[in-house]
Structure 1
């Protein structure tokens, strides 16, 4: 796959779709890689040039020394856009990717056309949640990541979906098992430290907030909090847990396309 050389390593990306179409950036969740969006690519590339990438610490991208910050991850996106000579793009991020989207909407509004914030919150979790996970992963290494993989199924998917769709679930949770423990822990710190609750009003891009009715990590209530503070924001809720793009599939893709093409 192609990569952009950052100051401290390579950022892995894929650029697909018509070269003359508007650009849509897709940003992965914590513990996945750019392939978490595979189900969306056939629909999205009919209308957009889709740029997806592995966030620092994930997939085939660099694993630099942590902890990371959401600002650091956001600046990686800007460096990627600069390297590809993309002045402005739509942005769709899920969970950690949604935090990156919030940072971009607040701090680089001139680069963002429309913003889709999926299964995310202005603040996700507390240090009491994140610090033990960071310690466990750094101490346990690859085995700890495999253990997290098993625990993630119930967070990422509703039980009925997971039971009926192992062919969709297994490749996604397999990404977590393959994620660098150091990269994962460094990004856990980025998520832990991010708090945009007082800055959401600065977002001016047209925004769609996507929630899952069964998402216990970033709830619909978290989504409504963002909607109330981002002028004109729309909100949609699917029957899904944390990875609504996988569980809601075609329905998710169509709603996002309707918003982006409005």
Structure 2
């Protein structure tokens, strides 16, 4: 297990792939740790040194019972890159991880070789904020496994649900997972989401950027990604025809292919 102490917490991370390749940092979203990317790893590690980590409040990283911010979690990611002596990196963030990736790019543009924002947003609207507030409040009301099951219909499509046996497998995995989140960790993550807004700073993100969303995403609808793509200079928008909010799990192979095609265009020397 690889853990470093940064910004007053223990931060868990994992590196796979050849160190001779360019580096790719993956940042997970709310209620998600580094295992979120597992289905994509086989494709990614063939071409990149892939760095995954658990945000504060989740997985094997510390979950202090005090307020978090998206900028703070971006600072955690930067501290990890500095510890690993990585001066430039491709960065991909999913959902809340996309918020973190935006703040990382804004604070340290010199470190960002390219940016990928999955199912993310600049500023939530009233409905979205109400939903995230509810997700945070429910952590105090529901037992852990039941809480996770309540979230699942928001994350996956009808097609995924209709695949024989898939939801049973997913629920069993959740119930057996050895590093379940703490209620207070999730609560503080939810409030960090609500406190973040990059809408008036998107024009300051100048690196190559891919914005991607699933057509059936009911948590972060297409208009959120359209706002990102319109606000970030020269950003590329891809709408996946089949995919919900958790399309990095549900449609992992398709997402990985789009991701790798984008990254190939922005390797050093190309």
Structure 1, unaligned stretches of length 5 or more?
none
1:78–1:48: structure 2 CA closer, same or farther, 3 Å change rule?
same
Once the two structures are superposed, the pairs formed by residues 164-243 of structure 1 within 5 Å of their partners are: 164=163, 165-166=166-167, 169-170=170-171, 178-238=180-240, 239-243=242-246
Query: Contact 1:152–1:173 at 8 Å: present in 2 too?
Result: no
TM-score by length of 1: 0.93
Q: CA deviation at 1:103?
A: 0.7
Aligned to 1:258: 261
Aligned to 1:2: 2
Moved runs in structure 1, 4+ residues, more than 6 A? none
1:35–1:133: structure 2 CA closer, same or farther, 3 Å change rule?
closer
Aligned to 1:248: 251
1:176–1:247: structure 2 CA closer, same or farther, 3 Å change rule?
farther
TM-score by length of 2: 0.90
Q: CA RMSD in A?
A: 1.9
Structure 2, unaligned stretches of length 5 or more?
266-270
Q: How many residues align?
A: 259
Aligned to 2:120: 120
Higher helix share: 1
Deviations 1:88-112 (A, max 9, x none): 1000010000000111121211111
Q: Distance in 1 between matches of 2:2 and 2:144?
A: 26
* 2:70 equivalent to 1:70: yes
Aligned to 2:43: 43
1:49–1:168: structure 2 CA closer, same or farther, 3 Å change rule?
farther
Q: Relative to structure 2, which stretch is displaced further, 74-83 or 154-163?
A: 154-163
Deviations 1:35-85 (A, max 9, x none): 110111111111100000001000000111322000000000000001111
Q: CA deviation at 1:176?
A: 11
Deviations 1:132-155 (A, max 9, x none): 443332x33xx4433321121111
